Amino acid sequence: MRLQTKPNDTRPARDAWGEEPAVGARVLRRTLRFAACVVALAGLVGCSAGLAGHSPAAIRARGELVILTRNAPTSYYEEHDEPTGPEYDMARAFARYLGVKAKFVVLDSTAEILQALRAGRGDVAAAGLTRTRARRADFLFGPTYQQVRQQVVCRRGGKRPRSVADLPDTQLVVAADSSYVERLTALKRSYPKLRWRTDPERSSEELLEAVWRRTIECTVADSSIVAINRRYYPELIVAFDLTKPQPLAWAMPRTDRALQRAVDKWFAGYRRSGALAQTLNKYYGYIRLFNYVDTSVFLRRIRTRLPRFRAIFERAAHDAKLDWPLLAAQSYQESHWNPRAVSPTGVRGIMMLTLHTARELNVKSRLNARQSIFGGARYLAQLRARLPKSIREPDRTWFALAAYNIGLGHIRDARALARRLGRNPNRWSSVAQVMPLLARERYYRTLKHGYARGGEPVQYVNRIRNYRNLLQHHLAAAGSEPRMYGEVQSR
Q: Could you list the active site residues?
A: 334
The residue among 207, 124, 231, 217 whose CA lies nearest residue 172 is: 217
Question: What number of CA atoms fall less than 13 Å from residue 318's CA on the CB side?
Answer: 8
Give the CA dihedral 230, 231, 235, 236, nearest 10 degrees: 0
Give the chain's length. 491
DSSP bridge partners of 154: 237
Give the CA dihedral 251, 253, 258, 261, nearest 10 degrees: 10
For residue 417, the tally of other CB atoms under 10 A from its CB is 21
Whether 371 contacts 364, CB under 8 Å: yes
Whether 17 contacts 270, CB under 8 Å: yes
Three-class secondary structure assignment of 310-321: HHHHHHHHHHHC
Q: Give the Cα separation of 438 and 417 in Å (integer).
A: 9
Q: Give the Cα separation of 234 and 156 in Å (integer).
A: 9
The type of residue at 49 is: A
Q: What are phi and psi of 449, to 5 degrees?
A: -100, 5
Q: Give the Cα separation of 233 and 388 in Å (integer).
A: 39
Q: Give the Cα separation of 460 and 181 in Å (integer).
A: 40
The residue among 207, 219, 226 whose CA lies nearest residue 290 is: 226
Q: What is the DSSP pairing of strand 101-107 with strand 146-148?
A: unpaired
Give the CA dihedral 181, 184, 189, 191, nearest 10 degrees: -150
